[in-house]
A and B are shown apart, each in its own frame.
Chain A
Amino acid sequence: MSELAIYFDSSKCTACRGCQAACKVWNELPSPIGLNAGKDTFAGTYQNPPDINPDTRLIMTFKEREREGSYGVDWAFGRRSCMHCTDAACVEVCPSGCLFHDPNGTGFVIYDAEKCIGCQYCRSACPFDVPRHTGVGIEGAGIKLNKCTACIDRVRHDRQPACVTTCQQDALQFGDRDEMLQKAHERVEWLHERGYADASVYGENEMDGLHVINVLKYDISMYDELPENPKKSPLVDVMSVVGKPLGAVAVVGIIGGLGLTYALGHGYHRDTQYYDEKNHDQIDVDKNVLVKHIDKEAGER
């Protein structure tokens, strides 16, 4: 299968959040009820919930600012979910084989929750801070990863991800990654022609290529969920060296070294010693001879 991608056009999105609901429905994720309204609880944004969480794999983000040189506001809608990186740091640090790239070559980062051991290393490595975990508790049992899989179970049956199917504005589309990229560039050009000079494509080269291609209507500062130049932490690479080659050298080195000293020291024998504390004589008991006399007056001990 060729590489696939989810296409998101922020200039078409009306922030209806049908995709958020569709994601919940298809993936059977609970939707706890919380208030984001009223004098004391309204957070000043329609973004709800405030961030992705262990039960919410996808949210629409809202950001607004006064429009420069004109009336009104710029109101940016963004899509926050797994970006499905080619150079996925989460896959690199996952110790249990839970996270992996789709073996069918779609490029999507998927996982086997059965294998998740709840270490949450993926969360610490993700430049987009995406992986979330259910069942987090002090005892550490039953913690499981929960994140977008691009509805791989649908994709494998030639269906589109749930979020894409529900989008009425065609802001979300799905298909061959190259086609989605071409579509994104055409759309950005169209936006440029209409005065949106800061419009851009996000996802073409970030992390060696994302499998979510964003068309950003405004400059990137309007999309807090998208770092301008996402990078894998150098610590992730350092850890790969410490974990594998250095670990192997340490284990083989110490066992080999100790094994050698064992072989060379095999059959060792020494005579029994006795210390005559009155005369300060150390004596070889087996041979009944003086080993050394401790000259206390000379400061020996």
Chain B
Amino acid sequence: MAAKNSSGKKSGEYKGFMGEIYAEPEIDGTPMQPGRTYPTRLIKRHSLKTRITHDVVAISCLWLMVSGAFVFFPPLAHAFPAATQFFRMSHRVMGAIFIIIPLLSAITSPKGFVEFWKKYLVKWTPEDKEFMKKFVFYMLGAKKVHMPDQDEVKSGQRFADGMLILSAVLIAVSGVVLWLGTSVWHAGATALLVMRLIHDICFLLFVVFGLAHIYLGAGIFEPYKGTSRLMFGDGKVPESDALYHWGFWAREQIEKGNVEEVQK
């Protein structure tokens, strides 16, 4: 319970990065039965197909960013002209993989594809909005700032992934025009300039949102430790982490019995 201390500040409050006041989440604190033990449980989050699709796209995306950098940053191309030729050719092979694999995945699992979109195109709850408002403060002070419960895909995730998906679609379309418009057909000069500008801007979006995605998704950021297992492991999330990241979703899954006990 929030009691006033000598400074007049409620003990359950803390100041955020910009001086804003947040209330600590109310913790009941009632002791449970002494000696009670709790099993370790896992919740399934991503299917094998989702993981393979994600991982192939992720690796091709990294390769595309590195090989593309040789064209984007002229000093690199100046320094390694032979490598640039190789990277440029590999950029086309990887570009094809980057486009074909998710399309194949969507075509062979139309239901999964629809479900995927449903998770992203949901109505924003008050908790979603609170999450977005607190996001920067959370990133700078995760030890103190507590985030509200979230559904299956956090609002911040929906925004960041949405930017990645948008960039991916635009970079794929512009890439195809830049590639085939200079080989299979003869694209006009202005068309090529516009496509290249789109390609460049999307590349920068990928740098920003892609690096942030890797930082959080691979669990480099300590509060997100263990998240790499979701896409690069067995696709399962420990109950405790699920409750922390996606509280509404985790409790719903547990109530439905979509949970697997791994240790008594």
Contacts and interface: CB of A to CB of B under 8 A. Distances in A.
Interface stretch (A62-70, A148-156, A166-174, A239-247): A239-247
Interface residues of A, number: 65
B240 to A, nearest CB: 4
A267 interface: yes
B243 A282 contact: yes
Given A114-B81, A126-B189, A140 B183 contact: yes
Given A136-B182, A275-B251, A289-B30, A265 B221 contact: yes
Nearest to A118: B88
Contact of B239 (A95, A124, A274): A274
Contacts of B113: none
B251 A250 contact: no
A125 B180 contact: no
Contacts, number: 183
Interface string A236-276: 10110011001100110111001011101111101011110
Contacts of B215: 258, 262
A268 B31 contact: no
Given A254-B212, A268-B222, A283 B38 contact: yes
B32 interface: yes
A248 B21 CA distance: 35
A16 interface: no
Given A120-B182, A283-B32, A95 B192 contact: no
Contacts of B41: 274
Interface stretch (A3-11, A204-212, A290-298): A290-298
Report, as a range, how many residues of chain B touch the other chain: 35 or more
Nearest to A119: B71
B142 interface: yes
Given A117-B77, A261-B139, A265-B142, A123 B192 contact: yes
Given A119-B88, A277-B251, A283-B32, A258 B74 contact: no
Interface stretch (B56-64, B102-110, B201-209): B201-209
A254 B215 CA distance: 10
Judged by DSSP, the binding face of B is helix
A238 B251 CA distance: 50
B184 A138 contact: yes
Interface in A115-140: 115, 117-121, 123-126, 129, 133, 136-140
Contacts of A133: 182
B193 A288 contact: no
Contacts of A288: 31-32, 34, 36
A254 to B, nearest CB: 5
Interface string B190-218: 10111011001100100110011001000
27 contacts: A96-B77, A97-B78, A117-B85, A118-B88, A120-B182, A126-B189, A129-B189, A235-B193, A235-B194, A239-B197, A243-B72, A247-B207, A250-B208, A255-B211, A262-B220, A262-B222, A272-B38, A274-B240, A275-B251, A277-B251, A283-B38, A289-B32, A291-B27, A292-B26, A301-B248, A301-B251, A301-B252
Interface of B: 25-32, 34, 36, 38-39, 41, 71-74, 77-78, 81, 84-85, 88-89, 91-92, 139-143, 179-180, 182-184, 189-190, 192-194, 196-197, 200-201, 204, 207-208, 211-212, 215, 220-223, 239-240, 243-244, 248, 250-252, 254-255
